Amino acid sequence: MKTIQQASMYSLSIMLLCGFLGAVAITPDAIANTAPRMKLTKPSATGGGHQLHGGQQHGKQGAQPQPRRRGAGKQLLLENGEGATVEFWAPDLGFQEIKVEGGRFSIPKPAVDNYHAVVAERQQGDLKQAAVRYEYMRGKPSSESPSRLAAAQKTEFEIEPAPIPREHSRYMANKKWDFILRFKGKPLSGVPVVLETSQGSHIEAVSGDAGLVQFIIPDDFPEVKLGRRNNPPAELSLFAKYKAESTRYETTLSAAYYVDPGHWRSKGLGVAVAGLGLLAGGFIGGIGRSNKRGKKQ
């Protein structure tokens, strides 16, 4: 009897604790967005490993580097996007539809290099959802500026990176990045935008004048090793929602982001070494001699 009572007490405690933890875990934003967010991610980012540019696998002990793959072959995953149409946009704004089966798909071989956009769209009743992701592709040199692709209206409600990290550059933690929120091609101000990372960070901001919203990407990598190539990227996504007339719009922009190299780069030491160089230069150049002469005079 006593045991049953104890068991009931334990069960009740556990239920209460779970309820409490559940309440804590659900943020106000999450409550407001009951529909799962549609977003485009790298399959490896959600599957435990990570993938760097060029298809090199990292993050697994003993994993051998894979040969660099040029052009096609990048795999993406459309999360919570059943029934969505997916388009692949080239830098010259030409686009083609991509077949998606089970959420996972390969980006087709591009005609030219530089940034391309993958755009997923879906309408369910009064809800229109969109997900955008920019991927750098290798190929013949493109003469089109990525600014044209970023600024083009690819879907009705869109978060535009302003700018996309430059070719061979990337989103870095601890750096401030600008984005522009647009509705039907026009900047939209006063709308909340959420940044979430695959490491669990959650930041909110509101779009200001000209739809501009700024985020400092959180430095939330749990384990940082020395050197960029030893640290796999994580995933970030920006999410916003908006209601116009009787339609609800939701949009997501996702990208990979990397560890802040400040973890293994010392500015203090850099200044100190440059200072030593200054001293050495002063000695070689005879600045000291010159000053002594000046004092004597």
Q: Examine residue 69 and tell whether it contacts other proteins (CB under 8 A).
A: no
Exactly one of 167, 214, 243, 244 binds other proteins (CB under 8 A); which one? 167
Closest contact distance (angstroms) between CB of 277 and other proteins is: 2
Residue 126 phi, psi (nearest 5): -90, 5
CB nearer to other proteins: pick between 99 and 296 = 296
User: Least Å distance between CB 216 and other proteins?
Assistant: 15
Scan residues 71-130 and list those touching other proteins (CB under 8 A): 114
Task: From 161, 30, 144, select the one nearest 90 (Cα to Cα).
Answer: 144
Footprint (CB under 8 A) of other proteins, residues 2-61: none
Please state, in angstroms and as integers, the Cα–Cα distance from residue 254 to each residue in 179, 187, 194, following that order. 12, 19, 12
Which among 203, 134, 208 is positioned nearest to 171, based on CA atoms?
134
Pick the stretch among 11-19, 101-109, 208-216, 272-280 that binds other proteins (CB under 8 A): 272-280
Task: Kindly state whether residue 285 participates in binding other proteins, applying the rule CB under 8 A.
Answer: yes
Closest separation in Å from C-beta 286 to other proteins: 6
- φ/ψ (deg, to 5) at 64: -85, 140
Q: Which stretch binds other proteins (CB under 8 A): 29-37, 151-159, 164-172, 185-193?
A: 164-172
For the record, the structure tokens of 83 come out as 């029934």
**CB 82, min distance to other proteins, A:** 35
Question: Could you tell me if 131 and 83 are in contact, meaning their C-beta atoms sit under 8 angstroms apart?
Answer: no
Considering the complex, state which of residue 106 and residue 291 has its C-beta at the smaller distance from other proteins: 291
Give whichever of 2 and 267 is closer to other proteins, judged by the CB atom.
267
Check residue 260 and report its DSSP letter.
-
The structure tokens 């009705």 sit at 156
User: Distances in Å between the alpha carbon of 169 and those of 5, 136, 252, 270?
Assistant: 62, 10, 21, 22
What mask of x and - would describe binding to other proteins in positions 144 to 163, judged by CB under 8 A?
Answer: xxxx---------------x
Q: Which of 12, 16, 30, 287 binds other proteins (CB under 8 A)?
A: 287
Q: What is the phi/psi pair of residue 153, to 5°?
A: -80, 110
Tally of residues, the chain: 297
Judge whether 184 and 156 are in contact, CB under 8 Å: yes
Q: Does 233 bind other proteins (CB under 8 A)?
A: no
H or E segment to which residue 18 belongs: helix 2-25
Total chain residues near other proteins (CB under 8 A): 46
Distance from C-alpha of 271 to C-alpha of 267, rounded to nearest angstrom:
6
Q: Among the candidate windows 123-131, 209-217, 234-242, 287-295, which touches other proteins by CB under 8 A?
A: 287-295
Out of 15, 226, 243, 244, name the contact with other proteins by CB under 8 A: 226
At closest approach, how far in Å is the CB of 166 from other proteins? Answer: 6
Which is closer to other proteins, CB of 16 or CB of 226? Answer: 226
Give the tokens for residue 6: 């104890």
CA atoms within 13 A on the CB side of 57: 13
> Residue 125 is inside which H or E element, if any?
none
Sole binder of other proteins in the list 69, 104, 243, 289 (CB under 8 A): 289
Q: In the complex, which residues of this chain contact other proteins (CB under 8 A)?
A: 68, 114, 141-147, 163, 166-169, 226-230, 261, 264-267, 269-271, 273-282, 284-287, 289-291, 293-294
